[in-house]
């Protein structure tokens, strides 16, 4: 279940654990498209601890034709695509905090009244985003992202803006609606308790179908999100051929991009989900070689721990536990 804040455009500054701006600090507008990338900075790779969670799945060998067919991009020119994807969940949002509090209190409804797309970061979320920027700014030239793709939701755009400002990176930025969070429809703003009490038939249907295929009225199943991500992949391959790409989005998007690119089964994806939520401002890294993606990092938060930034874990939706 996701929550929403009373003020959509407010950007909170963290009073504690402030992260100093990188010396190359420079603002990069998130809504600018197709700007040419500048040279990657010559800086040392930060020695950060790696905290990888979940079970990485060994990739079977596949041909380029197999990969193009699976992603729905047969025909036309062949684009090998990005070499690296850094998948980042947005920092903690005001909605995350409100939804978790409501769930723990046994409330039926999250007490927020603005739409999901306008949910801003919490103070801790802004601090997490700045810590992410410090890590990005310390990457070496062979690891620094060269482009950024971002969900249009406010919490994702704020995460990207904070990170780029602190890192001093001037990246080409592409905002894409296909990276938005899962649409919950009639379940929006309801806790798990609220769904069971107010919509018992829907709760029973959800329990039967599971999170992969349950589509609430007016909303999306996880399979629906996977389908829109499959339409995004060929565009990403065409536009970012040979580049390292930073993607700032949501927990469901991170998980389902793994599902699509690693060719996971439903059971394998659910094993990853049951290992724990994708934490706020965590980094998942996928590297591409020989036309196959391999998982290098999953849900890594060493960049937060290294700077004493808060590490937070919020379920993106209540049915993560189904």
Q: Which residues are annotated as a binding site for substrate?
A: 89-96, 155
What does each C-alpha distance from 155 to 96, 180, 260 come to in angstroms?
A: 10, 11, 24
Residue 239, CA atoms < 13 Å, CB-side half-sphere: 20
Name the phi and psi angles at 152, rounded to 5. -75, -5
CA 90 to mean position of chain CA atoms: 6
What does each C-alpha distance from 218 to 6, 23, 228 come to in angstroms?
A: 23, 47, 16
> Nearest Cα to 1, choosing from 88, 93, 96?
96
Annotated binding site: 89-96, 155
Helix and strand numbers (H, E) in the chain are 10, 6
> Nearest Cα to 187, choosing from 197, 176, 199?
199
C-alpha–C-alpha distance, residues 153 and 92, integer Å: 13
What is residue 318's DSSP assignment?
G
* Three-class SS state of 236: helix
Q: Encoding tokens for residue 238?
A: 């065409």
Interhelix angle 222-239/251-261, rounded to 10 degrees, is 70
What phi-psi label fits residue 311: left (phi over 0), alpha (psi between -120 and 50 degrees) or beta?
Answer: beta
Task: Tell whether the torsion through CA atoms of 46, 47, 49 and 51 is positive or negative.
Answer: positive
Q: Encoding tokens for residue 255?
A: 């998980």
Looking up tokens 């980042």 gives 88
C-alpha–C-alpha distance, residues 128 and 135, integer Å: 11
């Amino acid at each position: 279940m996701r929550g929403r804040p009373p003020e959509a455009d407010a950007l909170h500054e963290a009073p504690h654990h402030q992260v100093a701006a990188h010396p190359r600090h420079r603002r990069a507008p998130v809504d600018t498209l197709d700007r040419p990338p500048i040279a990657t900075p010559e800086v040392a790779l930060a020695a950060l601890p790696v905290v990888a969670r979940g079970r990485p799945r060994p990739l079977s060998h596949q041909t380029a034709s197999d990969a193009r067919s699976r992603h729905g991009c047969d025909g036309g020119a062949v684009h090998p695509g990005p070499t690296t994807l850094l998948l980042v969940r947005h920092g903690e949002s005001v909605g995350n905090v409100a939804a978790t509090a409501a769930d723990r209190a046994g409330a039926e409804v999250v007490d927020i009244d603005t739409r999901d797309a306008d949910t801003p970061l919490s103070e801790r979320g802004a601090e997490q985003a700045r810590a992410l920027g410090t890590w990005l700014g310390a990457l070496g030239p062979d690891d620094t992202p060269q482009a950024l793709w971002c969900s249009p939701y406010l919490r994702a755009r704020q995460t990207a803006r904070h990170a780029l400002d602190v890192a001093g990176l001037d990246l080409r930025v592409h905002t894409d609606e296909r990276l938005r969070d899962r649409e919950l429809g009639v379940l929006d703003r309801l806790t798990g308790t609220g769904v069971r009490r107010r919509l018992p038939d829907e709760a029973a249907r959800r329990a039967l179908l599971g999170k992969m295929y349950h589509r609430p009225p007016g909303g999306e199943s996880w399979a629906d999100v996977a389908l829109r991500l499959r339409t995004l992949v060929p565009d990403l391959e065409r536009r970012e051929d040979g580049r390292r790409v930073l993607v700032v989005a949501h927990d469901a998007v991170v998980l389902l991009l793994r599902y699509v690119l690693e060719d996971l089964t439903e059971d394998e994806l659910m094993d990853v989900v049951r290992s724990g939520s994708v934490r706020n401002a965590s980094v998942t890294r996928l590297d591409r070689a020989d036309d196959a993606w391999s998982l290098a990092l999953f849900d890594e938060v060493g960049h937060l721990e290294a700077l004493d930034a808060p590490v937070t874990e919020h379920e993106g939706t209540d049915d993560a536990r189904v």
